[in-house]
Each structure stands twice: as C-alpha cells, then as structure tokens.
Copies of this chain bind each other. A is one copy, B any other.
Amino acid sequence: MAEDGEIIEHHVSEEMEKKRHFARLPEAFLEREEHGSTQSSHRLLAYSDALISIIATVMILPVAHTKIQDNEELKESLQQHLTAKIAVYLMTFLIVTVAWAAHIRLFQVFERIDDCLALLNLACMMLITFLPYTFSLMAAFPDNILGILLFCSCVIVIGLIQAVIVLYGFGRPHLLNDQIQGSQNQGFYKRHILKVILRVPAFCFFAGIFSFVYPLLSYVLLAVVIFFPYISQSLRWCYSKAVGKDEGEISDPMLFYSYHPNEPLSKERVEAFSDGVYAIVATLLILDICEDNVPDPLEVQQRFNGSLVDALQEFGPEYLAYFGSFATVGLLWFVHHSLFLHVTKSTRLMGLLNTFSLAFVGGLPLAYQLTHEFPHNSHNELEAIQISCVIIFFAGLFQLAIWVAALFNQRETLHPFVHYNGQDHAFMLAKLAVYPCMALGTFFVTCVLSRFSAPVFHLAQIGVPFAFLLLRLLVRAALSVLRWLSRPSHPAAPFSDVLT
C-alpha cells in the first residue's frame, strides 16, 4: 500500500542484484577470461561528470576575485575589468558543456568498459580540464596566436583519443551497447561515428593553420565548428515545426549522433552534472570565507583590543551572503531535483536549456561577492543587488523553460501525473515559478525603494525557504479560490481534478 505512491528512480535493491549475480556465477567463471574483465561504465561516467562540472564552474572564481576599486562606479568597473573575464567564464562553460555532450554521445555507444577504456577516458578528461587555461590565455592576449594554437592542439588530441576509444570499442564488440551489438551493420555505425568525431579535430587543424595568416578567421571557424550542428539542427527543427512535418524527421534510422533536439540524453548524466555544478557553487563562498575572513591575531590585538567578536562583526555581511547564497543554490537544486523526478526521458533540447540555467547558477558566487563588497546604501550596492536578482531570475526562468520544453512532448518525457491538468501539474509549476517571481519582485521593489534595497533582498532570501515549506498549502488555497471564482460560469474548472 505505502509503496505504491512513490516515484521510483531507476535502481533496484542491492540484494536482488546480488542474487542475480550469484545465479549466473558458474558461467561467469568459465567465460570471464575470454574478454579480460569488463565492467559497467556507471561510476566512470559519474566521475567524468563530476570533473567536467567542476571545471565548468570554477572559472567563475577569477571573475569573482577581481578587485573593484571603491572610487569607480560599479557600472564602469564592470565594463572595464569584468567583461573579458565574464566572457571567458561563459565561453568556458559553453565549450566544456559541448565537450560533455560529446562525451555523453561517445559513451552512449558503450554498454560496458574495461581498464584500457577507463585509462583512455582519464587521458581525455585531463585535456578537457586544461581547456579553461587556453581560454584564459586567449582572453588575456587576443592578438597572440599561442592561445588559439594551444586550444586547437588540445581539441585535436581529445578528438584523436576519442577516435581511438571508438576503434578500440568496435574491435571488442562485447563492450558495445546492445543495439549496435545486435545490428548487422556495425561497420556503418563505426564509419558514421568516426566521421562525426573526426570532423572537429580536422576543422581545428585548419583553424590552427589559418591563425598564422588571419587570426580572426580562425576564431570564426572555431565558433562555427563547435556550434554548427546545434545551429543547423535548431533551424531545421524550427522550420519543420513551422511547416508541420516534424514526425518524418524523427524516424531517422541513425539513433546516435543525430544532433536532433529530441535525441534522447541520459537523464542520469544530466542529473549528475547538475548536482556537481550546484554542489560546487554552494560551497565556493565558504572556501573564500575560510581563506580570507579569519582575522589576523595581531590585528585583533591592536585594532580591537583583543575582542574577537568586534573583529568578526566587520565580516557580518559576508556570513549573511554565505547563508543567502547557500540557501538560494540549495533551493534551486531542490527545484531541479523535483523537476527531474517527474521527467522520464530527457532530450537534447532540455539538456541545452539546463546548461543555460546552470551557467546562470554558476554566476551566483559573483553576484554574492558583489552584494557584500560595497558600503551600505551606495549606488553600487543597489546595482549589485539588482545584478543578483537578474542572475537568479534567469537561472529560474531556464528551469521553467525545461519544464515547458518537456510539456511540448509530455507523453514521452513526463510522468502522467504531472501532464497538463494532471494531479501535481499546478504544484510543480508553482515550485518552478517561486524563484523567477521572487527575483522579479525584488528587482522592482528595489527600483522603487532604492534606500531599502539590502533589507528587501535579505528579507526575500529568508522568506523563500518558508514559501517552499508552505507551497503545497498555498497552491491548494489558490486553486480553491480559482475554483470558487470559476464555478458560476464554468461548471468544470480547468484544475478541479487536482483537488481532493
């Protein structure tokens, strides 16, 4: 009885699995040596997701650590000091998530791995984590071709390692996934996948050569090669939606590497990657606090007559910023978690929207660094708080966009009880709407009551967790009001089946 109501994730109890394992043990003993030891790829992929999510996110630190002079206005200093670094952060985030998407594509081909594949994958990861540095070089020396050459060589080597992984895998078909393993046409798959993978290093090779002649052209070439499949597919998808013959396109015989927005994307890996980003962002501020906000014993002795409490009061706003930032990131994670509990299958388009949402989440440490850096009631403080609101707004808005994208194809992507007019549809919508509404509201209130911007912002932050605790009650109340209002004119209100 009790077990029927829950939303289950894709795990079975260890006990059951163990029994299954021991049942097939005798054959395992006989046939094991034939293939060496192969393994499920689950943990390797989770580790790769963790690495990539950390690398994508930590590049916000150089931005957040930029010192802004007090005598300048925030707007000017933002333009002068931060634009380049923010561009590096966004580009790194996008490039790294593109590499991550390629990694997902690559490992969708495999069902199992062995030691050799694990080591090749680690080599690949090492080069991916080096990409942010090449970007920093490019941003610091836009006229020097060294940055672009380093970037191109990294991408070329990554591409070659991935090609070796594919060749190695097709040489040992028991590692491949069941669909390719059962196919008559393994050679066709192999050629198609290799073609897609090797296209990128080939273009990068030319971009590297062009950079000697005309550096700007090679930047354009790189942008095209990285985003071309997404752009062309988006355009094709929009076109087919407009003309209305979308069903013909989906029946592509090639399920892998199709770059179609409805191409399935491993839900487990999207979750693992998002968890990594949320966890890093939630903890980045405490790292700064531990390093910078422990006062110097000598200073405490001299300036504060040995009173540690007085010395710590200087850092008061920092602690508030930490708890505010942790609560916001934690609750955005909570909304993401609730959303993906209801998702049965995630698509490329949802993955892309998730990436945009995460890019804004990654910007939160910058926003919080800004909010506590300026004197109280200054013009800079107001702008810092408004920037925070904008970042929170877009992070929440793109989460909402994932939900809308899922609803467009709800029979495939969502659990039936959150379908439009389903049991929990309104509740989920309310959860997703909390942060955009809060951010928008705070933004406009601070525009009007600019003198009270900091108290308003902190009040909003403290209020949101309680809003989540009471959300179910609030949604019920709102729905009954809606029903009561719509009863005289429409006997069956749109949400009436949601209520008990």
Interface residues in A280-323 by Cβ distance below 8 A to B read 280, 282-283, 286-287, 289-291, 293-295, 297, 300, 308-309, 312, 322-323
3 pairs of A and B residues whose beta carbons are closest in the complex: A2-B174, A50-B279, A9-B40
Beyond A18-B344, A326-B126, whether A465 also contacts B8 by CB under 8 A is no
Q: Confirm or deny: A449 has a beta carbon within 8 angstroms of a beta carbon on chain B.
A: no
A32 vs B32: C-alpha distance in the bound complex, in angstroms? 45
Cβ–Cβ < 8 Å partners of A278 in chain B: 47
A27 vs B417: C-alpha distance in the bound complex, in angstroms? 12
Beyond A136-B290, A181-B2, A290-B132, whether A312 also contacts B18 by CB under 8 A is no
Cβ–Cβ < 8 Å partners of A132 in chain B: 286, 290
Of A115-123, A160-168, A477-485, which stretch is located at the interface? Answer: A115-123
Cβ–Cβ < 8 Å partners of A35 in chain B: 2, 5-6
Of A68-76, A192-200, A334-342, A399-407, which stretch is located at the interface? Answer: A334-342
Cβ–Cβ < 8 Å partners of A300 in chain B: 141
A132 vs B287: C-alpha distance in the bound complex, in angstroms? 9
Q: Confirm or deny: A106 has a beta carbon within 8 angstroms of a beta carbon on chain B.
A: no
Partner of A1, one of B31, B61, B65, B331: B31
A130 touches B286 (CB 8 A): yes
Q: Confirm or deny: A44 has a beta carbon within 8 angstroms of a beta carbon on chain B.
A: yes
B279 touches A36 (CB 8 A): no
B21 touches A5 (CB 8 A): no
A55 touches B286 (CB 8 A): yes
Cβ–Cβ < 8 Å partners of A330 in chain B: 122, 125-126
Least CB distance from A6 to B in Å reads 4
A10 vs B9: C-alpha distance in the bound complex, in angstroms? 13
Interface residues in A246-283 by Cβ distance below 8 A to B read 267, 271-272, 275-276, 278-280, 282-283
Beyond A39-B7, A308-B146, A326-B129, whether A61 also contacts B279 by CB under 8 A is no
Size of A's binding interface in residues, CB under 8 A? 116
Beyond A6-B38, A144-B308, A309-B146, whether A58 also contacts B129 by CB under 8 A is no
Q: Confirm or deny: A140 has a beta carbon within 8 angstroms of a beta carbon on chain B.
A: yes
Listed by A's residue number, 25 A-B pairs whose Cβ atoms lie within 8 Å are A2-B35, A4-B24, A4-B27, A4-B30, A5-B32, A8-B17, A8-B20, A8-B40, A10-B14, A33-B500, A43-B337, A47-B337, A51-B283, A59-B290, A62-B290, A115-B334, A122-B334, A125-B330, A126-B330, A133-B294, A136-B290, A137-B294, A141-B300, A144-B308, A146-B312
Q: Confirm or deny: A37 has a beta carbon within 8 angstroms of a beta carbon on chain B.
A: yes
B37 touches A424 (CB 8 A): yes
A21 vs B46: C-alpha distance in the bound complex, in angstroms? 24
Q: Confirm or deny: A469 has a beta carbon within 8 angstroms of a beta carbon on chain B.
A: yes
- Chain A interface, >50% SS class: helix
Q: Confirm or deny: A29 has a beta carbon within 8 angstroms of a beta carbon on chain B.
A: yes
Q: Confirm or deny: A468 has a beta carbon within 8 angstroms of a beta carbon on chain B.
A: yes
A61 touches B416 (CB 8 A): no
Q: Confirm or deny: A180 has a beta carbon within 8 angstroms of a beta carbon on chain B.
A: no
In the complex formed, the residue of B with least CB distance to A13 is: B10
Q: Confirm or deny: A425 has a beta carbon within 8 angstroms of a beta carbon on chain B.
A: no
In the complex formed, the residue of B with least CB distance to A51 is: B279
Cβ–Cβ < 8 Å partners of A144 in chain B: 308
A55 vs B36: C-alpha distance in the bound complex, in angstroms? 38
B287 touches A61 (CB 8 A): yes
Beyond A4-B31, A32-B417, A140-B295, 12 additional contacts (C-beta under 8 Å) are A5-B174, A6-B38, A14-B345, A18-B344, A32-B423, A46-B275, A47-B278, A47-B333, A115-B338, A119-B465, A126-B330, A140-B297
Cβ–Cβ < 8 Å partners of A18 in chain B: 344
